[in-house]
Amino acid sequence: MTTDATRAAATIEEVAAAAGVSRSTVSRVVNGSTAVSPSALEAVRRAIEELNYVPNRAARSLASRQTYAIALVVPEDTTRFFGDPFFASIVSGINARLNRSDYVLNLFIASDDRGDKTTSYLRSGAVDGAIIVSHHTSDTFIDRIAAAVPVVYGGRPVRERERDYYVDVDNVRGGRDATTYLIARGHRRIGTIAGPLTMPAGVDRLEGYRVALAAAGLAEDVVEEGGFTADGGADAMRRILARGPHPDALFIASDLMARGALSVIAAAGLRVPEDIAIVGFDDSPVATSVTPQLTTMRQPSFDQGEHMASLLLDLLAGKHPRHVTILETELIERASA
Amino acid sequence: MTTDATRAAATIEEVAAAAGVSRSTVSRVVNGSTAVSPSALEAVRRAIEELNYVPNRAARSLASRQTYAIALVVPEDTTRFFGDPFFASIVSGINARLNRSDYVLNLFIASDDRGDKTTSYLRSGAVDGAIIVSHHTSDTFIDRIAAAVPVVYGGRPVRERERDYYVDVDNVRGGRDATTYLIARGHRRIGTIAGPLTMPAGVDRLEGYRVALAAAGLAEDVVEEGGFTADGGADAMRRILARGPHPDALFIASDLMARGALSVIAAAGLRVPEDIAIVGFDDSPVATSVTPQLTTMRQPSFDQGEHMASLLLDLLAGKHPRHVTILETELIERASA
DNA sequence: GTGAAAGCGCTAACAC
DNA sequence: GTGTTAGCGCTTTCAC
């Protein structure tokens, strides 16, 4: 704490006095109203500069019922949030859009506090709206947030309702295309390491895998859940190898899980793609940092973040945007399959 | 946006009416005052429950001049913030402490918006205090934040002043111990990949390296800057290999940079530790996820986060904590040196 | 173009 | 133990 910190901040009243105008005029200047004479404008600007004036946010939002802040709520623990490049892209995308607006982003890693403090914070009018990504079937506090402020979901909501707004990628199709690629390469015993089945993304990619196999008349091979983490992917891979003859190809529903699986495969003395071919999902930086580099389904996470922010901003501006936006995935061929 | 969202939130006035008491009594209940009769308490609780009442944050903080929010400001770009496990630990530590308090954490990745919007947000009374980590010599907006709210720094501030509060690890000693270890293992041509010299942590670890060499009467070998990122570490390593006979040991000032360097060394057909021994810094999850696993200086980042939060909370509570806390590092022996 | 006045929802004396 | 009152610092009609 600096000694400066104790010096009380200037108020609009003081600025008005210094500029020789009324509160209203200062407010007009601060809020960019055109109905101010050049001389008053100049006087106010100088006073603001001199007094180092910044409008008090609490007072402003109490009066205007706007905060110009939006929340990003991530119901994950800190480790997973930071460990997965997916979130980095999402945040970058959101910020990219917000930088072209007056809104600031507040980040909440919700499961760190069991959701309670975060929930009441959001319900107390601290933000104008919220973006919620990565939510699980068990995250019931989400509904309480959605009852209080406009919400945009990243990914299909767990219990989708008609009035929900969300931006998703076509996960079923992505899972299907990845698996179909493996089939086209001649593989017949194709397993999968799925994401958590408590999350729509996990469920949908698994469904895509099944759709592709069914379409080709192939039987489903091993299915293991990997929790969207590198460690989870490694564990899943160990279980797969432990159960006997391994599949000759694997669709792994995230690059991070693929990285975990890759290390287990290497440790077992098997080669990729010769012994086991692998297609990942994300095309995050992880995909090119492993050996062999991953053939993977690219999902446009940065775009998804930007879209979500745009959608929420439109909502807050009173517009009526489309409820659902689905972005496409794309297969990126590298060395793992 | 759900239809529910348009239903106006209940006010303290409505709760008071429903409970048949005055505003003050409701306020007392909400703020946990003991001076309330059991019957009134019960009535108010029921009314709050029924009306789904959450106090309006703006109104509350306007009246009380407290927000019960603190900011974590990280002047890094999103990629680096998410890519380095160091930040994950810091955030976990801060949250661990905050969960035992009434405060919520607001995260600001400051360089995404050139610092302006963030700065005025923080200066507008939106938070009661701020924790600032990873700041660079070029981050001048920091001073404007520190002039408005109590600030605790993670790491020695760039321009340290007596009144500053901060929690740091003993980086000079850490760099010295790491290098001394290499010397003790018989290495004589010891280089370093340093962190950014615009950051105290980068400067201090480099100084530690120099102190150790001087104490042993050894000449300084190659010094390259790696920017605390994996890519930066890889680039630095390439420059080192390109300049001729390579050193036989390297102190690398972060595990992430070590990971980058390791991949370049492997690609060059050299072995670790036989051809080049390496000591990293952090003991982050990266240290055990690479091959060979890193011998590294452990720094207690989670503790650092917790300490910073405690310090700030004490400050906000009007206590007078010590200005500076220095945490110790510890050498963790693994396979890379 | 400008100012006066009311009020946003709450806390915090202060009286009873 | 409880209610009344006066703000907190701003925006926003509404006159002029």
Whose tokens are 């104790």? That residue is A6
Note the pLDDT of residue B65: 94
**Intra-chain end-to-end CA distance of chain B, in Å:** 57
Calculate the angstrom distance between C1' of D8 and CA of B45.
26
Helix, strand, or coil (residue B249): strand
Mean pLDDT of chain A: 94
Tell me the chain B residues in contact with residue A129 when contact means C-beta distances shorter than 8 Å: 1
Contact B112 A92 (CB under 8 A): yes
Contact B112 A126 (CB under 8 A): no
Note the pLDDT of residue B7: 63
Contact A163 B83 (CB under 8 A): no
Calculate the angstrom distance between C1' of D9 and CA of B10.
22
Write the residue in B4, B54, B163 that is nearest to A124 by C-beta: B54
Using a 7 Å CB cut-off, which residues contact strand D? Answer: A 8, 11-13, 23-24, 27-28, 30-31, 53, 55-56, 59-60, 62-64; B 20-25, 28, 34-37, 39-41, 59, 62-63
pLDDT in tens, A162-174: 999 999 999 999 9
CATH 3.40.50.2300 residue ranges of chain A are 69-169+301-327, 171-300
Helix, strand, or coil (residue A250): strand
Q: Which nucleotides of D are covered by protein (CB under 7 A)?
A: 1-5, 7-13
Helices B200-216 & B171-184 angle (0-180, nearest 10)? 40
Note the pLDDT of residue B43: 95
Does the nearest atom of strand C lie within 7 Å of A25's Cβ? yes
What contacts B326, CB < 8 A, 6 or more positions away?
Answer: B167, B168, B169, B170
Going across the sheet that includes A249-252, the strands are A223-225, A190-194, A249-252, A277-282, A295-298, A330-332
Nearest CA in chain B to A66: B58
Report the candidate in B92, B321, B144 with the shortest Cα–Cα distance to residue A54: B144
If you write DSSP's letter for every residue of B296-316 in order, what string do you get? EEE--HHHHHHHHHHHHHHHH
Look at domain A171-300 and name its CATH class.
alpha beta
Does the nearest atom of strand C lie within 7 Å of B62's Cβ? yes
Q: How confident is the model at residue A3 (pLDDT cuts 50, 70, 90)?
A: very low
Tell me the chain A residues in contact with residue B122 when contact means C-beta distances shorter than 8 Å: none
State which CATH number among 3.40.640.10, 3.40.50.970, 3.40.50.2300, 3.40.50.720 fits the domain covering B69-169+301-327. 3.40.50.2300
Angstroms from A205 CA to nearest CA on chain B: 25
Angstroms from B125 CA to nearest CA on chain A: 6
Pairing of strands A69-74, A104-109: parallel
Report the candidate in A249, A248, A245, A254 with the shortest Cα–Cα distance to residue A225: A254
CB atoms within 10 A of CB B245: 7
- As a CATH number, domain A12-55 is 1.10.260.40
Q: Which nucleotides of C are covered by protein (CB under 7 A)?
A: 1-5, 7-13
Nearest nucleotide (C1') to alpha carbon of A44: C2
Residue numbers of chain B with a pLDDT score lower than 70: 1-7, 112-115
Report the candidate in A195, A260, A262 with the shortest Cα–Cα distance to residue A224: A195
Note the pLDDT of residue A115: 58
pLDDT in tens, A111-155: 766 658 889 999 999 999 999 999 898 888 899 999 999 999 999
Calculate the angstrom distance between C1' of C5 and CA of A20.
19
Calculate the angstrom distance between C1' of C1 and CA of A221.
77
pLDDT in tens, A240-280: 999 999 999 999 999 999 999 999 999 999 999 999 999 99
pLDDT in tens, B16-33: 999 999 999 999 999 998
Calculate the angstrom distance between C1' of C1 and CA of A84.
55
Burial A124-155 (b: 16+ CB within 10 A, else e): bbbbbbbbbbbbbeebebbbbbbebbbbbbbb
Phi-psi sector, B285: left (phi>0), alpha (psi -120 to 50), beta: alpha
Amino acid identity, position A315: L
Calculate the angstrom distance between C1' of D4 and CA of B22.
9
On the question of pLDDT at A8 being above 70, the answer is yes
Note the pLDDT of residue B112: 62
Does the nearest atom of strand C lie within 7 Å of A24's Cβ? yes
Calculate the angstrom distance between C1' of C7 and CA of B59.
12
Tell me the chain B residues in contact with residue A125 when contact means C-beta distances shorter than 8 Å: 9, 56-58
On the question of pLDDT at A79 being above 90, the answer is no
CB atoms within 10 A of CB B274: 8
Calculate the angstrom distance between C1' of D12 and CA of A64.
9
Q: How confident is the model at residue A49 (pLDDT cuts 50, 70, 90)?
A: very high
CB B87 within 8 A of CB B58: no
If you write DSSP's letter for every residue of B129-159 in order, what string do you get? EEEEES--TT-THHHHHHTTS-EEEES--TT
Whose tokens are 């496409």? That residue is A328
On the question of pLDDT at A1 being above 60, the answer is no
Nearest CA in chain A to B79: A88
Contact B5 A148 (CB under 8 A): yes
What contacts B128, CB < 8 A, 6 or more positions away?
Answer: B66, B67, B68, B69, B70, B103, B149, B150, B316
How far, in Å, are A237, A270, B263 from residue B259 at the CA level? Answer: 24, 24, 7
Does the nearest atom of strand C lie within 7 Å of B17's Cβ? no
Does the nearest atom of strand C lie within 7 Å of B24's Cβ? yes
Angstroms from B165 CA to nearest CA on chain A: 7
How many CB pairs below 8 A link A and B? 167
Write the residue in B55, B99, B109 that is nearest to A113 by C-beta: B99
pLDDT in tens, A271-312: 999 999 999 999 999 999 888 999 999 999 999 999 999 999
Q: Which of A's residues 38-77 have CB atoms within 7 A of nucleic strand C? A: 39-40, 59, 62-63
Tell me the chain A residues in contact with residue B69 when contact means C-beta distances shorter than 8 Å: 121, 126
Residue nearest to nucleotide C6 (CA to C1'): A63
What contacts A161, CB < 8 A, 6 or more positions away?
Answer: B2
Report the candidate in B284, B204, B266, B197 with the shortest Cα–Cα distance to residue B232: B197
**Helix, strand and coil in chain A, % to nearest 5:** 45, 15, 35
Amino acid identity, position B289: S
Tell me the chain B residues in contact with residue A151 when contact means C-beta distances shorter than 8 Å: 1-2, 5
Q: How confident is the model at residue A4 (pLDDT cuts 50, 70, 90)?
A: very low
Nearest CA in chain B to A313: B1
Note the pLDDT of residue A164: 95
Q: Among A3, A124, A320, pick the best mutation site for testing chain B contact (most B Cβ within 10 A).
A: A124
